[in-house]
Each structure stands twice: as structure tokens, then as C-alpha cells.
Amino acid sequence: MDLPEVNDVLLQFNKLLLLYNSALKEINTKLEILNDEFKFVHQYNPIEHIKSRIKSGESIISKLQRQGRDITLENIQTYIDDIAGIRVTCSFTTDIYRIVDMISSQNDIEVLKTKDYFRDPKPSGYRSYHMIVTVPIFLSDRVVPTKVEIQIRTVAMDFWASLEHKIYYKYEGNVPEHIRTELRECSDMASFLDAKMLALNEEVKEYKGHY
């Protein structure tokens, strides 16, 4: 590939990143509006934190290589669902499904895939709710539906997932079995904490309802 071709590929890739950055802004704004509205109507905000990121070029290439696919812009758009990612952290498990419903009901959002790792945790103990959605990005000459991965989890499970990621990074994926076992046990503890805190919150709401 000569220099003009390389420059053209880089230009197209940067345009692609512009789309994904714009999609993150769109989803982030929608989530903030929904959270503000919910707080106004119900005096309660289901979302604690929102964090977004764009997958690095190295990670994108590595993922395509693991899939055995050619490194092309078309393959990037078709086969990589998590270039743009948003992580939503909430207090209670019920908030997760409330947020899922609010996102899914948006007329301009199309839900492509969902994975509920709360009801069906991974063997590692990982619990989260994943959605792959598309949101329309209005450019000057066209509208481009662009994919975003949304991960929704509780504060407790977000802490667990952060620790798991650090451990797997340190061991380069080869985590000793006894540590894997400890992680699964910690996941069960976090899930138990989520259930206890939800029950406590429901009891408090019922008590307040007597007034």
C-alpha cells in the first residue's frame, strides 16, 4: 500500500471514529435526560455514574485478527460491536431493567442484541446487562446508524468487574484457579449484597408510604 492509499485509509478511519464519538454523545445525552426526568417525577435517580470510551485502534485490529477477518473498514463496522462503549452504574438491580426499558422505548434507537448476565452470570461470576444498539448520526449529507455497546450494572458488581479486570491483566489471562474461585465467591457476595440492599430500600420506601 503506497502513501496516498495509507493516508486515505487513515482519513476514512478517522471519519469512522467521528461517527462513534458522536454516537457516544447521543446516547450519553439521552441517558442524562432520562435520569433527570426520572428524578423530577419520582424524586429518585436510577443512574449513579455514566462512563464512556472508544476502543483503541490496536484493540480493534486485535479483535478482528482473533476472528480471522481482514483488517478493513467494512469489517470494523460490521463485526466489531463495542467500538463505542458506555457503562451505566446504578444502585439496585431493579434500576438495571428500568434503564433497559427506558432505552429500548426510544423511537430512534434500535436494539440489535442483548445479553443478561445478571440472570445468567458468566462462569467467572461476571454479572452485567449488555445491549448493542444503533443510534442515527445526522451528518451534513446523510444519516448513519451507528452501533454503541451499553453495559448496565450495579455499583457492587462494577467494583467486582473492575477488580477482575485488574487481576486478569496482571496475570495476562492465566489466573490461578484458587484466585478464580475466590473471584466467583466475591461475585456471589456482591450479588447477595445487591439483594439485601434492594430489600432494605424497598422496606424504607414502604415505610415512607405510610405517611
Beta-ladder partners of 54:
84
CB 47 within 8 A of CB 123: no
- 37 flagged as catalytic: no
Q: How far is CA 161 from CA 89, 125, 179, in A?
A: 12, 9, 14
Task: Give the whole-angstrom CA distance, residue 103 versus residue 105.
Answer: 6
Pull the grid cell for residue 27.
446516547
Say which of 5, 26, 48, 149 is annotated catalytic: 149
**Burial letters 84-109, b for 16+ CB under 10 A, else e:** bbbbbbbbbbebbebbbebbeeeeeb
Q: How many CA atoms lie within 13 Å of 210's alpha carbon, on the beta-carbon side?
A: 5
CA 54 to chain CA centroid, Å, is 11
CB 131 within 8 A of CB 113: yes
- Write out the catalytic residue numbers: 149
